[in-house]
Structure 1
Amino acid sequence: MSDHPALHAAAETGAPVVCLYVLDETTGRAPGGAARWWLAQSLRALEAEIAERGGSLALRRGPAARVIPEVVRESGARAVYWNGIAQAPHRSVERALESALAKLGADSQNCPGDLLVPPSAIRNKDGRSLRVFTPFWRRVLSLGDPPKPLPAPKVLRHAPRIAGDRLESWKLEPAKPDWAGGLREACIPGEAAARGRLRDFLKRTARVYAGDRDRPDREGTSRLSPHLRFGELSPRQVWHAARFAAAEDPTLGPGIEKFLSELGWREFCRHLLHDHPDLATANLQTNFDGFPWTHDDKALAAWQRGRTGYPIVDAGLRELWHTGVMHNRVRMVVASFLVKHLLIDWREGEAWFWDTLVDADPASNPANWQWVAGCGADAAPYFRVFNPVLQGDKFDPDGAYVRRWVPELKNLPVKLIHQPWRATPIELASAGITLGKTYPQPIIDHARGRERALAAYAEIRRG
């Protein structure tokens, strides 16, 4: 409820306020399974916060351009306020909604609230969006601080309750089977949890963020992405809280600057989606349209289940399946392995992450996959093929992350934890491992995978 421009503007009028959430699965991408679970918890938390201020939350399901005018007619509302989203399908809905409300004699107010700066403010001399992050971020920084976040309304003037759906009727949460146990252990949705996590990060983690953010064996990241994804925390709140913390303690400066650049990457991805609504399905670099992807259902399934034979890859995918979260460094390694070692289309990985990540974001998810694949904006060179053994040695040097998520390897010594196939029969027996049975052999040799990827890249370069 904090820094919610639409709610703030409505409450400031002094009129009774009807708080409405519309589950519109016809606009944009419907959320995946893990995100649906988070949404249910987030709505419960929001309902409680609204009730504390004297209001109530109505739930409706259906196309927003139809549902909202229905609620206006039922409630007699004279004005409608919403936070705009700078994405093509949402802008189309907003135009239809404004027209429908005008016919009903109701005012409408579209309040910006999801970005640090509007896409129109970041353009090159030809009026096009920037496709490279560094100049994009420099331009954002040159514009100065974004507006300060707005406080939550202290009181919401009660409006007559309107009929709404029961949250349970939406079936956002799994039942049979209930696979969300790990999500419940790992995640606490809601604005209060988001504010607490931001405070904890700035107090405890920001100081070491620049170095520890790449270490999956440490608590070195903010874990704020799902809260941002669901609007429980705004980018303006994060920006100003981080700037204030750095001003209070200058030793936090390097960590805060790196952290804010990651917030900038989120912004960059959202601006990309504004200009490329098909970001999840179409290569930004069209020369990749002829890339020789392979279709290997068996390899894809092994990757999804964390059974590739590469411990750092398998640990990441098992963490994802259990918790709905995966460490950012490991996401890059896991994604690189799919598209480069296995030559499986990046869209397959993007779809898997969309369904299993609690922070699956319509902009960041496809933009990051395209970045790794080499077909996106500011993309990593395709010839950069992560070696999963070296990545594990560097970022999980003691093997703590692998031992947690791939427990069948926990008794291996450090020198072998990221390459168990190099263990001698005696070492494997001592660790209780039978390769090919208790843990798989590598699905592909790294050197062969790298050579095949480079050959495929050379093929499209020739084309």
Structure 2
Amino acid sequence: MPREKVSVVWFKATDLRTHDHEPLSLAHAAGLPVLHLFVLDPRWFKRTPLAGFPRTGPRRALFQLEALADLSKRLEAAGQKLCVRHGISTARAFEELCDDFDVAACYTSREICPEELRVEQKVQEVLQAKHAGELQLCWTYELHHYDDLPADVRKKGASGFSGYRRCFSERCQVRDPLPRVDLAKSAPGIHWPRAEGLPSSVVDLGLSEAPEPDDRAEVLWAGGETAALARLDEYFFATNAIALQFVGATNFPHDGHSSTAANSQSKLSPWLAHGCLSARYLYAELKRYERERRHTDSTARMVHELYFRDFVRFSALLKGSKIFKLEGIYGRHPVGGWLQEDGLLAPWCHGQTGFPFLDASMRELEATGSCCHAGREVAAWFLVCDLGIDWRLGAEWFESTLIDYEPAANWFNWSFTCVPRATGGNSIQEEAKPLRPPRTRLQTLEAIYWAAQQDPDGEYIKRWVPELRSLDGTLAREPWRVTSEEPESAPRVGSAPEEWPPAVSRERERIGWARRNFPAGGSQVAVWWGCMRDAGKIAPRPEAGKAEGAGASAAERRLDPDDGKEYSLEGLKKKYKGQYKLEEIRLYWQDTCEPLEVRTDPEDGKAYTLAELHAKYRKQYTWQEVAKYFKSSCVRLQERASTIPRAQATGWPEGYPLPLLPPASFFCIEEIAEHSRRGQARKAAKAARLRLEIGGDGSGGRSIGPYGTGSSKSEHVASEERGIPKSQKGPRRWAKTAPQGT
């Protein structure tokens, strides 16, 4: 029986839309029936190689399923179909596709990272082996088309972001979005009998159930093109937030700008990352806004953000696999190597470092899948500079948790922005500056300074760190100021020495050296030495050239649910020796055994480990029920082994962990906070005046209904209308205003 001849559109996780989609346009212009394919490749749902995190966390997986359901619905409305395969590799899916159809050509979006390029190569090899049509690759993710870049920039890149920005503004033009394809005029969509359809739940992908949306979030994202276009219209035309409130990811340090304020971020990044929204369409709508409403610094800032996005993308293409290497894109290692993880990574991941702004950012990230750019940078710098931990572990955590994850953006930014601060080099942005000594930049000071600048009254911190809600702004930002111990000060002395110091093994030496040579304001730096978690956790750094890999601390113990007893990894290996392979035991210890954390039971206000809680309730509930109660209802405390006597931290907020490192701050921090308050008040007043000029109701004369500007409920498709099971619905909306203050 002859096979039907078809064109194939291979959708990827970065182009889940129907507007401005070149592969879709080319396939439907070819005149053949079109098969629309998406493969949920199992490689996305494996574990990261170093830390063992899920490569795709449940929250991003749910967003992706929603985006696919929305894409499927849009195609079906025009008589087309989305064929979804899962449980097999992409290459295997194409082998079966070529067995069932005569594939004339396959159209898809171009990739730039090594792993994705290998998948493309395997698909190309399958098509050749099956004598099918060629794989046609299109640039769909970027603002600027790669072919429009000057030849010298394509070959060698430009001089940092400044060079790329000049290239984009002076030597390139942004193409117009492609016309929307009239899918209804094409031949009826092809159904592939082998297609399984969308999984009913992220659990079917081997992940845990996606958590319910967190009401503290400013936006509750729903995946899909429909929600993306609705958010764009609302942020631009319905509320004028793009002109009145937008700060952007790279403009937060400026006077009066706060990236934690409501509507200061467009929150479009998850849709851009998944391709639910085209960068060129966003740019075109921005230019339309400037023509119809107003050109402001904020609208110009959005263009700047899109330029930086392309800089990252094209730079990652040139750097290739270097962005994933330990030495980064500059080929440098820190003096003394990287510190062994040794239990320090988990407090960082879960917002338990004892530094409030950092903790608030990491808790928001874990709860929602996103946090502001300032929070991401502070957390990353703290991990690599203050803790000295292998930066790739942090990049893997971001890969697992970010809802707007895209490999080039995540890994290049870590390698470009963070690694130089730990290795003693400078980033491309600082090429003209002297080399910075390794691990002598106090990133904890960035966390304190930016907290005062971004969140002077502690509203953002207290929203995400409820243990600090009873404190005023200053104390919420720096709870160590409630302790009885007076901070130590020391004058700034001289300039940087001729030679860098040897590997520093004690915090007092490291902080002392950094304070004496702080670029500005070193004489104003104070340190609370006694207000620190167990100093034994800060182990001496290994010798130069002997970087330690990630792994479980030999002293770490976890609870085996099989018998309710505590074991180290080595103890667990002995217990199950001969029954399971060593790798199976390691994964069981990592994925199933419970860390020995302490939480407060709201029933009596007392602190318990999971084993203690199980002993308390063992006659009433099963182990599984107690474990679920422990995770969902009990309030997390710092690990008992990581605390110091409360006598050393009199007045410390109950339930909040002591800092991992001695906290450092400025004596003049309140002056910084007050300056920020005044700047933010001026910005608010300016926005109010501009709002009146644009339109008294903030809508520019357009009617605003309950579902956005000129839109209806049908245009804001709820999750249950997209095939997402009821167990994952919750009160999902595409946008929601978060409560302000405490």
User: TM-score per shorter chain, which class?
Assistant: 0.7 to 0.9
1:269 — aligned with what? 312
Change (3 A) 1:311 1:216: same
Residues 319 and 325 in structure 1, CA contact (< 8 A), matched pair in contact too:
yes
Change (3 A) 1:48 1:124: same
> Which of 332, 343, 353 is the equivalent residue of 1:298?
343
Per the TM alignment, residue 99 of structure 1 is displaced from its structure 2 partner at its CA by 5.0
Q: Structure 1 residue 133 and structure 2 residue 133: aligned?
A: no
Q: Structure 1 residue 220 and structure 2 residue 264: aligned?
A: yes
2:678 — aligned with what? none
User: 2:153 & 2:455 partners in 1: Cα distance?
Assistant: 44
Residues 85 and 114 in structure 1, CA contact (< 8 A), matched pair in contact too:
no
Per the TM alignment, residue 227 of structure 1 is displaced from its structure 2 partner at its CA by 0.9
> Which of 441, 457, 475 is the equivalent residue of 1:398?
457
Question: Match for 2:221: what amino acid?
Answer: C
User: 1:181 & 1:198 partners in 2: Cα distance?
Assistant: 24
User: 1:96 & 1:301 partners in 2: Cα distance?
Assistant: 37
- Report SS of the residue matched to 1:334: helix
Gaps of 5+ in 2: 1-17, 49-53, 485-649, 666-742
User: 1:216 & 1:96 partners in 2: Cα distance?
Assistant: 44
2:476 — aligned with what? 417
Bigger Cα Rg: 2
Across the aligned residues of Structure 1 and Structure 2, the Cα RMSD in angstroms comes to 3.1
> Which of 36, 47, 54 is the equivalent residue of 1:19?
36
> Which of 208, 220, 227 is the equivalent residue of 1:193?
227
Residues 378 and 447 in structure 2, CA contact (< 8 A), matched pair in contact too:
yes
2:127 — aligned with what? 101
2:108 — aligned with what? 82
- Report SS of the residue matched to 1:307: coil
Q: Structure 1 residue 232 and structure 2 residue 305: aligned?
A: no
> Which of 352, 360, 385 is the equivalent residue of 1:307?
352
Say how many residue pairs are matched.
Answer: 441
Q: Structure 1 residue 259 and structure 2 residue 302: aligned?
A: yes
Deviates more, 1:222-231 or 1:100-109: 100-109
User: 1:187 & 1:173 partners in 2: Cα distance?
Assistant: 21
1:454 — aligned with what? none
Residues 20 and 180 in structure 2, CA contact (< 8 A), matched pair in contact too:
yes
Per the TM alignment, residue 171 of structure 1 is displaced from its structure 2 partner at its CA by 4.2
1:32 — aligned with what? 56
Question: Match for 1:109: what amino acid?
Answer: Q
Per the TM alignment, residue 64 of structure 1 is displaced from its structure 2 partner at its CA by 3.0
User: 2:393 & 2:317 partners in 1: Cα distance?
Assistant: 23
Residues 312 and 418 in structure 1, CA contact (< 8 A), matched pair in contact too:
yes
Per the TM alignment, residue 218 of structure 1 is displaced from its structure 2 partner at its CA by 2.5
Q: TM-score, normalised by structure 2?
A: 0.55
2:508 — aligned with what? none
Q: Structure 1 residue 209 and structure 2 residue 246: aligned?
A: yes
> Which of 407, 414, 418 is the equivalent residue of 1:372?
418
Q: Which has the higher helix share?
A: 1
Deviates more, 1:217-226 or 1:156-165: 156-165
Q: Structure 1 residue 388 and structure 2 residue 447: aligned?
A: yes
Residues 36 and 172 in structure 1, CA contact (< 8 A), matched pair in contact too:
no
1:168 — aligned with what? 199
Residues 2 and 152 in structure 1, CA contact (< 8 A), matched pair in contact too:
yes
Gaps of 5+ in 1: 426-432, 449-463
User: 1:445 & 1:331 partners in 2: Cα distance?
Assistant: 21
Residues 67 and 224 in structure 2, CA contact (< 8 A), matched pair in contact too:
yes
- Report SS of the residue matched to 1:2: coil
- Report SS of the residue matched to 1:363: helix
Residues 37 and 172 in structure 1, CA contact (< 8 A), matched pair in contact too:
no
Deviates more, 1:161-170 or 1:226-235: 161-170
For residues 324-379 of structure 1, what are the alpha-carbon distances to aligned partners after superposition, in whole Å with 9 as ceiling and x for unaligned? 11111111111122122212221111111111111111011112222023268526
2:188 — aligned with what? 158
Per the TM alignment, residue 404 of structure 1 is displaced from its structure 2 partner at its CA by 0.6
User: 1:266 & 1:401 partners in 2: Cα distance?
Assistant: 27
1:113 — aligned with what? 140
Q: TM-score, normalised by structure 1?
A: 0.85
User: 2:153 & 2:65 partners in 1: Cα distance?
Assistant: 44
User: 1:338 & 1:236 partners in 2: Cα distance?
Assistant: 35
- Report SS of the residue matched to 2:383: helix
Q: Percent identity?
A: 26
Per the TM alignment, residue 266 of structure 1 is displaced from its structure 2 partner at its CA by 1.5
